[in-house]
Structure 1
Amino acid sequence: MPQPLLIASAMGACPRCGASTLFAGPVRFAASCRSCGLDYGQFNVGDGPAAFLTLIIGALMVAMALMLELKVHPPLWLHILLWTPLTVLAVIGSLRVAKGALLILEYRNKAREGWLTAGDREA
């Protein structure tokens, strides 16, 4: 039985064998699974997760910064020191999970590029 989607994507689990081999960097996919050999290059996650997560997390960080400013009135340098690294970590952390989830879903649903051959059209 496959792992739940969010757990598998957070762990960077290969969708075929479950080994933690999905990522070669913080948000960069490995070329293939070191355990079972699944080629991750056949999947196309694209830039959609990055755009949506940047907008969503940006809005959340601005809302939290405004609430802090209205309640505590910290100096500007404290806002910069607090919100810049928090935003970067939140985007990278959630981007890793989102990209992993999309790749795992593509594998589980057998989604591939949209090119059809003559045999595919008849089926």
Structure 2
Amino acid sequence: MPNAAVPVDPAILPHSAGAAILRGASGKCPRCGGTHLFAGGLKPVERCRMCGQNWTLHAADDFPPYIAILLTGHLMAPVIIGLGKMEALPAWAMMLIALVMAGALIAAILRPAKGGVIALQWWLGMQGFAGHSGKVEAGVA
């Protein structure tokens, strides 16, 4: 049985999808922005400590890795082209540099991408979330 959402001052609710996504991408609760969205690594907290939002409803699944890989590929393309033009650089060194840079970029982009996707799902009312309107939300105490 759904419970009424913990009252949140409307002034702290995000006023646009972009604001909610920025909160999520920065690792903050997209609803109130007051505490952490992630418990550690890529695992979101079960509930926000400030507003009580249930974050177990999300279904980010494969979209955050897709975003991370897409952005990494676009950012790495000019780097790889530049490395390829360096004739003095051995092929093994070029591959090593490219792999380390790509791995670091994916690792850096993945968590903000997941936070942004979770925030977008909440904003749009997907996966059982009531969305930004303040309606009663499933599983919110």
TM-score, length of structure 1 as denominator length: 0.70
Which of 18, 42, 64 is 2:57 aligned to?
42
1:59-110 residue CA offsets vs partner (Å, 9 max, x unmatched): 5425522322214541245334422332122112222222111111111122
Percent identity between the two aligned chains = 28
Count of matched residue positions in the alignment of Structure 1 and Structure 2: 113
Unaligned ranges ≥5, structure 2:
1-10, 129-141
1:20-99 → structure 2 map (5 Å cutoff):
20-58=35-73, 60-99=75-114
Tell me which amino acid in the other structure corresponds to 2:40. G
Task: Give the Cα–Cα distance (whole angstroms) in 2 for the partners of residues 58 and 40 of structure 1.
Answer: 30
CA-to-partner distance for each residue in 1:32-85, whole Å, 9 max, x for gaps? 223322221111111122134324423542552232221454124533442233
Q: Which runs of 5+ in 1 are unaligned?
A: 114-123
**Aligned Cα RMSD in Å?**
2.6
Residue 125 of structure 2 aligns to a residue whose secondary structure is: coil
Structure scoring higher RCO (CA < 8 A, sep ≥ 6) equals 2
Structure 2 CA distance, aligned partners of 1:56 and 1:34?
Answer: 32
Normalised by the length of structure 2, the TM-score is 0.63
Q: Is the 8 A contact 1:17 1:35 kept in 2?
A: yes
2:27 corresponding residue in structure 1: 12
Whole-Å separation in 2 of the counterparts to 1:79 and 1:51: 25
| Structure (1/2) with the larger helix percentage | 1
